[in-house]
Amino acid sequence: MANITLSAGVRANLTSLQSTAEMMNTVQQRLATGKKVNSAIDNPVNFFTAAGLTARSNDLSTLLDSVSNAVQTISAADKGISAITKLVEAAKSTAKQALTASAPAATYALSITGSSAIADDAAVATGTVGSITGASTLASLGIADGETITISDGTNTVTHTVTTAATEDVDDVITTLNGGAATWTVAVNGSGQLEVTADDPTDTLTISGNGADSAFGTTTTSSLVNSDIGGLTGTLTFTVGTGSAQTLTFGSGNIETRADLLTALGNLTGVTATINGSDQIAITSTSADDVTIGGTTTLATLGLTAGTTSPTATIGTPNATRASLQTDFNDLLTQISQLAADASFNGVNLLNGDNLSVVFNEDGSSSLAINGVTFDAAGLGLTAQSGNAFQSNATINSVIASLDAATATLRTQSSTFGSKLSVVQTRQDFTKNLINVLQVGADNLTLADSNEEGANLLALQTRQSLSTSALSMAVQADQNVLRLLQ
């Protein structure tokens, strides 16, 4: 197309019209989209800043769904605890009702027997000859050559054989008998008698010979057991039922021998305690009270074990009401376990051992771990009762104690879940508000002011109308000039 020459006035008005049209297009786009920044070309800083705020807002919006699920999961667990608490209260009511029914006659038997033998107190063997000295010749004691005296502890054996009774003395015998690996001591005591003492409280010594042993006043093949328990120190305690602990104290000035122990056992109240024919500690009782053994003494030495032993009850004719209530109690425990298994939401059950982790921000650096519990009957320490359990008041009282403990556990856990729920709900509200803040911030950077843009459009339209009129006038002026030139 051929070039068209425009006058300066026409070109100026044309440029103004083009600029106005371009601005009108921009304003109309803002009014159409509602945004003053539609691309990075419009305002790179605002565009990318708003994009980042919007992206974070979207990420948090996605997390809100999981936070909402966490709220419902905790709420389901809390509802489960409330329901289980009611069942526990019903079970307690059932147990208390059983207590009001008459209990059948019962007999009780308790027996505790030690596993170790408490040996005799003959720790020392003393001869009957009271005029022995270390220098006494064997011949002066009526001992002849060839006679022997032997001491044995079952492992070690030492024998003195007399070869020259006229010149050998008692010290020679003592020196021989105290030799080797002997676990005893041989000496002449202050009364001038030959005395053999075992070194170990559990040793069994045998003294024998073919004449020399009798000459010293010992008994042929005499078994000497050293059961002196004076080596034990500390205490042994017996507690009968809810009574105070009865303490047996071992050591110097207290219990040192089997006889001391036997006396102390006989002084115990609430039980019958003695040393039986097998030399073992034996404790019996015919009451309904438990017996608890404890203390600081080495119980194994006495053949006893620390702990509580309950008597065996023999029930007479069972009470039918109590038997029926025991069945009701067991049914309630079954319902507790089933309810705990049903307290789940979206596959997570905080009452059945599942754990829950709630993430609160987009990079996972802010979260809350909620540990689950196992609140079926067994997890709460509740056990189904069998046999004639509810026929015994002691058993029912024990069951009620376990129900009280379960109730305390449920209340504590309910408080814990309530605290966790409060945290999650607070973070949920905070996240919602933060999303709103981010969205408002992004909008402030990109959204157009419709009132302002409407005013701009009106002004541009006015400018366009004026520019069009000016252009028309400029063209008319050019035409008048051409007429004059013609």
Query: Do residues 237 and 246 make contact, with C-beta atoms less than 8 angstroms apart?
Result: yes
Q: 108-118+231-315 and 124-225: same fold? A: yes
How far apart, in whole angstroms, are the C-alpha atoms of residue 226 and residue 223?
10
The pLDDT value recorded for residue 139 is 92
What CATH number belongs to 124-225?
2.60.40
Tell me: pLDDT of 432 over 90. Answer: no
Query: Any idea how long the chain is?
Result: 486
Give per-residue pLDDT as tens, 128-148.
788 889 999 999 989 999 999
Among 9-13, 404-408, 438-442, the least confident range: 9-13
Give per-residue pLDDT as tens, 359-380.
888 777 888 999 999 999 999 9
Q: In which band, very low, low, confident or very high, does the pLDDT at 434 lie, cut at 50, 70 and 90?
A: confident
How far apart, in whole angstroms, are the C-alpha atoms of residue 128 and residue 131?
9
The correct CATH number of 61-103+318-435 out of 1.20.1330.10, 3.50.50.60, 1.10.10.10, 3.30.390.10 is 1.20.1330.10
Tell me: pLDDT of 123 over 60. Answer: no
Looking at per-residue pLDDT, the higher value among 168 and 3 belongs to 168
The pLDDT value recorded for residue 251 is 81
Query: Do residues 198 and 264 make contact, with C-beta atoms less than 8 angstroms apart?
Result: no
Tell me: pLDDT of 121 over 60. Answer: no
Tell me: pLDDT of 387 over 60. Answer: yes
The pLDDT value recorded for residue 231 is 64
What share of the chain has pLDDT > 70, as a percent?
78
Give per-residue pLDDT as tens, 214-270.
888 876 545 554 455 656 788 999 999 999 999 999 887 788 777 788 899 999 999
Query: Do residues 314 and 286 make contact, with C-beta atoms less than 8 angstroms apart?
Result: no
* Tokens (6 digits) for 223: 């078994």
What share of the chain has pLDDT > 90, as a percent?
40
Give per-residue pLDDT as tens, 435-452.
888 787 776 666 555 666
Looking at per-residue pLDDT, the higher value among 185 and 147 belongs to 147
- Tell me if residue 225 falls in helix, strand or coil: strand
Tell me: pLDDT of 84 over 90. Answer: yes
The pLDDT value recorded for residue 301 is 82
* Tokens (6 digits) for 42: 């419009």
Looking at per-residue pLDDT, the higher value among 313 and 335 belongs to 335
The pLDDT value recorded for residue 448 is 58
Looking at per-residue pLDDT, the higher value among 230 and 356 belongs to 356
**Nearest by Cα to 106 from 425, 438, 419, 394:** 394
Tell me: pLDDT of 484 over 70. Answer: no
**Nearest by Cα to 70 from 425, 430, 434, 429:** 425
**Mean pLDDT, residues 84-113:** 92
The whole-chain average pLDDT of the chain stands at 83
Q: Which fold has domain 108-118+231-315?
A: Immunoglobulin-like (2.60.40)
**Mean pLDDT, residues 199-225:** 72
How far apart, in whole angstroms, are the C-alpha atoms of residue 335 and residue 377?
9
How far apart, in whole angstroms, are the C-alpha atoms of residue 334 and residue 376?
9
Tell me: pLDDT of 120 over 60. Answer: no
Sheet holding 246-250, edge to edge: 246-250, 234-240, 291-295, 307-309
Tell me: pLDDT of 340 over 80. Answer: yes
* Tokens (6 digits) for 413: 């856990």
The pLDDT value recorded for residue 241 is 92
The pLDDT value recorded for residue 322 is 93
Q: In which band, very low, low, confident or very high, does the pLDDT at 105 lie, cut at 50, 70 and 90?
A: confident
* Tokens (6 digits) for 233: 């120190």
**Cα 360–Cα 362–Cα 363 angle in degrees, nearest 5:** 100
**Nearest by Cα to 245 from 254, 236, 256, 233:** 236
The pLDDT value recorded for residue 78 is 92
The pLDDT value recorded for residue 312 is 86
The pLDDT value recorded for residue 17 is 66
**Mean pLDDT, residues 260-285:** 91
The pLDDT value recorded for residue 417 is 92
pTM tops 0.75: no
Domain boundaries, the chain: 61-103+318-435, 108-118+231-315, 124-225
Among 28-37, 96-105, 176-185, the least confident range: 28-37
The pLDDT value recorded for residue 122 is 47
The pLDDT value recorded for residue 129 is 82
